[in-house]
C-alpha cells in the first residue's frame, strides 16, 4: 500500500502545474493533501480525481486558505474532522479509516507571519499532543501525516545556525517534537533515511534555495507501534517540489 502526503500550496494551482501527471506516475493508493486552499465547489469544472479516486474534502471556512483532503483508490470512512472539541475552522485535521488503518491528515499552523500566529501555533501544538495520546497506544495501526511546520533536528534543515530564531526551528518547537516522539510516535522517514542531512521536503522561493536544495524537512509520516512495523519504504520526490509546489510529495510504502 502506497501513501503519499503532499502540501500542494493550492490545489487549483497544482492542477495547472501538472499534479495529475505526478500522481499517475507515483501511483498512490492513498493521497493526503494539505493547504488545498479551495472549497470543493471551486475546483475546476473539467477536473476529476485521478484514476477515479474517492475523496474527503475538509477546507477552511475562509476561502483560499489552509484546508486538507484525503483521496483513496478504495472505499474508506471519514471518522472525524478537527481535534477533540475543536471546530477546526481552518481545516487542519481530517481522520479517515482504511480497513484497519487509521490516517490522520494534518496541516499544523505556521507561526512565521506574526507573533499572534506563533502563539496560536504553540497553543495548537499542545492541544494536538494531548489529543494524539488517544491514538498512539492503539493496537491497530495509526499514521499521522502532513505538514507539521517544524524541522525537528539539524539534519532536517540546511542552515540550522542561521535559523535558530526562525519559527519552525525554535528550540521549544523542537523540544515539543521530542515530546511527540517520546510519547510513542515514530518518525518513519527519518528511521529510513538514517542519520544524515536531509532529504528536505520544503524550499523557500527566495534566492536559489530550491535549485540548490537548501531546504527544510517539515513534512512527516509518524506511526504508532502497530503501524511502524508495516513500513517497508520511505522517500521524498524532490522533482514534485520543483515543479508543482514549494513542498515535495513524501511517500511511504506499507506491507499490508
Task: Give a three-class secondary structure readout of the chain.
Answer: CEEEEEECCCHHHHHHCCHHHHHHHHCCCEEEEECCCCCHHHCCCCCCCHHHCEEEEECCCCCCCCCEEEEECCCCEEEEECCCCCCCCCCCEEEEEECCEEEEEEECCCCCCCHHHHHHHHHHHHHHHHHHHHHHCCCCCEEEEEECCCCCCHHHECCCHHHCCCCCCCHHHHHHHHHHHHCCCEEHHHHHHCCCCCCCCECCCCCCCCCCCCCECCEEEEECHHHHCCEEEEEECHHHHHHCCCECCEEEEECC
Q: Which of 20, 21, 86, 107 is catalytic?
A: 107
Reply yes or no on whether the pLDDT at 15 is more than 90. Answer: yes
Q: Which of 21, 86, 134, 147 is catalytic?
A: 147
Mean pLDDT of 72-86: 94
Instruction: Decide if 147 is catalytic.
Output: yes
The CATH number assigned to the domain holding 80 equals 3.60.10.10
Q: What is the pLDDT of residues 205-243, one digit of tens each?
A: 888 999 999 999 999 999 999 999 999 999 999 999 999
Say what the pLDDT of residue 50 is. Answer: 85
Domain that holds residue 172: 2-254
Domain count, the chain: 1
Instruction: Decide if 253 is catalytic.
Output: no
Amino acid at each position: 500500500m502506497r501513501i503519499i502526503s503532499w502540501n500542494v500550496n493550492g490545489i487549483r494551482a497544482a492542477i495547472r502545474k501538472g499534479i495529475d501527471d505526478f500522481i499517475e506516475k507515483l501511483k498512490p493508493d492513498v493521497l493526503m493533501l494539505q493547504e488545498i486552499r479551495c472549497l470543493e465547489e471551486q475546483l475546476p469544472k473539467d477536473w476529476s480525481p485521478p484514476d477515479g479516486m474517492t475523496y474527503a474534502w475538509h477546507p477552511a471556512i475562509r476561502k483560499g486558505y489552509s484546508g486538507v483532503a484525503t483521496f483513496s483508490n478504495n472505499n474508506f470512512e471519514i471518522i472525524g474532522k478537527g481535534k477533540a472539541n475543536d471546530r477546526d475552522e481552518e481545516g487542519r485535521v481530517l481522520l479517515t479509516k482504511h480497513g484497519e488503518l487509521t490516517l490522520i491528515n494534518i496541516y499544523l499552523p505556521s507561526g512565521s507571519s506574526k507573533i499572534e500566529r506563533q502563539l496560536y501555533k504553540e497553543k495548537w501544538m499542545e492541544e494536538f499532543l494531548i489529543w494524539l495520546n488517544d491514538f498512539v497506544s492503539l493496537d491497530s495501526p495509526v499514521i499521522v501525516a502532513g505538514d507539521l511546520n517544524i524541522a525537528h533536528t539539524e539534519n532536517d534543515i540546511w542552515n540550522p545556525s542561521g535559523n535558530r530564531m526562525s519559527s519552525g526551528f525554535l528550540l521549544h518547537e523542537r523540544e515539543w517534537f521530542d515530546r511527540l516522539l517520546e510519547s510513542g510516535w515514530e518518525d518513519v522517514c527519518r528511521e529510513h533515511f538514517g542519520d544524515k542531512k536531509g532529504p528536505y521536503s520544503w524550499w523557500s522561493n527566495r534566492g536559489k534555495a530550491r535549485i540548490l536544495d537548501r531546504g527544510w524537512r517539515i513534512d512527516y509520516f509518524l506511526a504508532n507501534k502497530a503501524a511502524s512495523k508495516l513500513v517497508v519504504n520511505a522517500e521524498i520526490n524532490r522533482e514534485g517540489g520543483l515543479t508543482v509546489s514549494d513542498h515535495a510529495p513524501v511517500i511511504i510504502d506499507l506491507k499490508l
